[in-house]
Amino acid sequence: RTDTAEPKNGPSGSACYDTAFGRNGTEKATLVMLVRNSELYGALSSIRMVEDRFNRKFHYPWTFLNDKPFTDEFIKYTSGLASGPVEYAVVPEDDWSVPDHVNETTMRAEMLRMAKEEIIYGGSLSYRHMCRFNSGFFYNQEVMRKYDWYWRVEPGIELYCDINYDPFTFMRENKKIYGFVISMYEFKDTITTLWDRTRQFVAENSQFLHANNSLDFLVDGAQPSKPGDRHLGSGNYNLCHFWSNFEIASLEFYRGEAYSRYFEFLDSAGGFFYERWGDAPVHSIGVGLFAPKDSIHHFADFGYSHAPCSRCPQDDESHATGRCMCNRGQNFDTDGYSCLPRWWKVAGINKGTESI
Ligand code: GDP
Ligand code: MN
């Protein structure tokens, strides 16, 4: 490797030189992982992957969050793999407990019913805390306050291609708010009343609905909203969401009034506990309604896997410059359960008929 290496072009067309090697991350951004001590090996595997494919050239800090103190072992091995600064933080109890307004007897009864019906994670309280935390608290953690951007990393993920540019810079320069790789349908039984609550929130707070929103991604047959069109209409949520185990996004968006008030409204309804609202539909609906459509970005050049789904870049460029190690034919993008073709349609991305 030499300093005279050819610049690689990111999706913005901005040149990203290999001389970035040795520099610290330049954006106010962090790689963030909420993780249990018991997931150490999955965490190490993800850190190694993200370091090898991206961060060894950029040295962004890692932030590890946990509802329990990290063990010395966890800290020792994870910090040993990170090329940037590391920080470990325990989530405050209020951000990981059942709030007073939730009736625990009702909650327990619903959890039992959902477990019996074999709804995924239906009987788990810790999963509910996790979803609520990722919906409304991660961006206000003390250790996160110094950052404007985050890249969410989960244990056991894979990155299939080199990321030769800084995606945080890409987001900032292109006025992006939310970046994703995979989009799919949510389990209906986990969010029975989420859309009704959302409709109610928007009816009472219509000023937050962005004039150029993505309602037509979230609701089939929704009339594209016009400026001054400040309601969600009567259509139902089609369950499409961005898969939130990977996210590169703006923390400022979540901290802003629209999303914060939306989360508080949802939290007061208790659906994170009575039902099992996931952070993925909550983020997706929040971004889809309160941010402009063109601020949502699909990272088509990222090869990514989180069990049981994976996707591989379909373009030649990524494979030529990104040392991709994935089979283009094994790609969730156009799976029957994928919402990406719908995203392409509403975002006006022309894929040609052969790839849909
Ligand atoms: P799935 O991807 O929906 O199957 O859910 P995961 O089990 O992967 O959980 C999502 C994220 O939250 C992962 O990063 C987990 O490590 C983390 N997570 C889930 N439950 C807990 C928990 O009880 N404590 C902590 N500290 N992290 C958790
Ligand atoms: Mn996961």
| Residue 119, pLDDT score | 98
Of 204, 128, 184, 211, nearest to 309 by C-alpha is 184
Atom of ligand 1 nearest to the CA of 154: 14
Q: What is the ipTM of this complex?
A: 0.99
| Residue 7, pLDDT score | 39
Q: What angle do CA 341, 219, 223 make, to 5 degrees?
A: 100
Count of C-beta atoms within a 10 Å radius of residue 196: 13
User: How far, in Å, is the centroid of ligand 2 from the Cα of 308?
Assistant: 10
From CA 92, how far away is CA 100, in angstroms rounded? 16
Atom of ligand 1 nearest to the CA of 39: 16
How do the domains of the chain map onto residue ranges?
A: 103-119+181-242+251-290+311-356
- Residue nearest atom 12 of ligand 1, based on CA coordinates: 34
| Residue 318, pLDDT score | 95
User: How far, in Å, is the centroid of ligand 1 from the Cα of 240?
Assistant: 21
Whether 355 contacts 253, CB under 8 Å: no
Atom of ligand 1 nearest to the CA of 65: 26
| Residue 234, pLDDT score | 86
User: How far, in Å, is the centroid of ligand 1 from the Cα of 34?
Assistant: 7
| Residue 256, pLDDT score | 98
From CA 235, how far away is CA 195, in angstroms rounded? 10
User: How far, in Å, is the centroid of ligand 2 from the Cα of 321?
Assistant: 28
Determine if ligand 1 sits within 6 Å of the CB of residue 131: no
Determine if ligand 1 sits within 6 Å of the CB of residue 216: no
CA 47 from chain centre, in angstroms, equals 17
Selected catalytic residue, list 247, 264, 275, 317: 247
Mutate-to-test residue for ligand 1 from 130, 151, 158, 191, highest number of ligand atoms within 8 A of CB: 130
User: How far, in Å, is the centroid of ligand 2 from the Cα of 155?
Assistant: 7
Tens digit of pLDDT at every position of the chain (356 positions): 333 334 344 444 443 333 344 456 899 999 999 999 999 999 999 999 999 999 999 999 999 999 999 999 999 999 999 999 999 999 999 999 999 999 999 999 999 999 999 999 999 999 999 999 999 999 999 999 999 999 999 999 999 999 999 999 999 999 999 999 999 999 999 999 999 999 999 999 999 999 999 999 999 988 755 666 788 988 999 999 999 999 999 999 999 999 999 999 999 999 999 999 999 999 999 999 999 999 999 999 999 999 999 999 999 999 999 999 999 999 999 999 999 999 999 999 987 544 44
168: its two tokens: 């945080």
- Residue nearest atom 3 of ligand 1, based on CA coordinates: 245
Enter the DSSP assignment of 275: S
Whether 113 contacts 124, CB under 8 Å: no
Distance separating the N- and C-terminal Cα atoms of the chain: 39
| Residue 226, pLDDT score | 63
CA 98 from chain centre, in angstroms, equals 24
Ligand nearest to the CA of 68: 1
- Tell me if the bond preceding 61 is cis, omega within 30° of 0: no
Determine if ligand 1 sits within 6 Å of the CB of residue 25: no
| Residue 25, pLDDT score | 83
From CA 71, how far away is CA 68, in angstroms rounded? 9
Give the CATH fold of the 103-119+181-242+251-290+311-356 domain. Spore Coat Polysaccharide Biosynthesis Protein SpsA; Chain A (3.90.550)
Determine if ligand 1 sits within 6 Å of the CB of residue 279: no
Q: What are phi and psi of 305, to 5 degrees?
A: -140, 135
Determine if ligand 1 sits within 6 Å of the CB of residue 157: no
Whether 242 contacts 183, CB under 8 Å: yes
CA 205 from chain centre, in angstroms, equals 25
Atom of ligand 1 nearest to the CA of 35: 16
Ligand nearest to the CA of 280: 1
Determine if ligand 1 sits within 6 Å of the CB of residue 46: no
Whether 6 is catalytic: no
User: How far, in Å, is the centroid of ligand 2 from the Cα of 7?
Assistant: 34
Determine if ligand 1 sits within 6 Å of the CB of residue 67: yes
Determine if ligand 1 sits within 6 Å of the CB of residue 95: no
What DSSP string runs through 78-133?
HHHH-SS-EEEEEPPGGGGS--TTS-HHHHHHHHHHHHHTT-TTTT-HHHHHHHHH
Atom of ligand 1 nearest to the CA of 134: 12
From CA 115, how far away is CA 1, in angstroms rounded? 54
Q: What are phi and psi of 347, to 5 degrees?
A: -90, 0
